[in-house]
Amino acid sequence: MNTKLVNSAALTQNRTAAGIALALDSARMLMTPEVAAELEQLRARIAELEAAQKPSETYPPALPWAALMDSEDLADFLDELAASAITHASNAVALAEVEATCGRWRVIAEAQHAHNTAPGPDIEADGIARRIVPVQALREDDPCGLHHDYRLGRDLPEMGGV
């Protein structure tokens, strides 16, 4: 079969030495059987590694904190990042501006995420609700004693006057 390939390639290449050598090389007939077997093993191993390694798993995300931002903050960050990257200064200055922008927005993203995910106080458990609920909403038999009808008592001393 390889002989047919070599012969057909030689015929199409006008039977030149270069054409025959190219056909032999393509058919891997210029290698020893050991070298050819080793080459096939290496190619199979490379294919295995490439199949097992997904591009997203190659490197961790460069800006994992950017995923913490809401869409409005993310749009603002990307706008500012683009503006800092296209300064008409040297590459070193542009890189410094990009890094400064990333640093500022990382603090914003992480602080906002911490605020959004922080556990809130249990206002019923610690009695804060009783301090912030309007007095009218409390019952008259309130154990905290916050109820007051704001009437003047008759037993108050009179203020002097005319």
Find tokens 């390939």 and name the residue: 5
Amino acid 33: pLDDT? 82
Same domain? 111 vs 125: no
Amino acid 10: pLDDT? 47
Same domain? 105 vs 84: yes
Burial 47-81, CB ≥16 within 10 A → b, else e: eeeeeeeeeeeeeeeeeebbebbeeeeeeebeebb
Residue 5: name the closest of 17, 19, 46 by CA.
19
pTM for the structure as a whole: 0.41
DSSP letter assigned to residue 53: S
Same domain? 104 vs 145: no
Amino acid 25: pLDDT? 74
Looking at the 3D structure of the chain, how many domains does it have?
A: 3
Amino acid 55: pLDDT? 61
Amino acid 109: pLDDT? 92
Task: Give the Cα separation of 54 and 42 in Å (integer).
Answer: 20
Rounded to 10 degrees, the C-alpha dihedral 103/105/76/99 comes to 10
Rounded to 10 degrees, the C-alpha dihedral 145/148/151/153 comes to 10
Task: Give the Cα separation of 96 and 91 in Å (integer).
Answer: 9
User: 69 to each of 109, 119, 121, how far by Cα in Å?
Assistant: 5, 19, 24
Q: Could you tell me if residue 72 is inside a domain?
A: yes
Same domain? 69 vs 49: no
Find tokens 């400064």 and name the residue: 100
Domain around 135: 121-149
Q: Could you tell me if residue 71 is inside a domain?
A: yes
Task: Give the Cα separation of 110 and 76 in Å (integer).
Answer: 15
Give 10-residue mean pLDDT values along the chain (162 residues): 53 69 75 83 84 69 90 92 85 91 93 86 57 55 55 62 60
Q: Could you tell me if residue 154 is inside a domain?
A: no
- CA 22 centroid distance within chain: 49
Q: Could you tell me if residue 155 is inside a domain?
A: no
Q: Could you tell me if residue 161 is inside a domain?
A: no
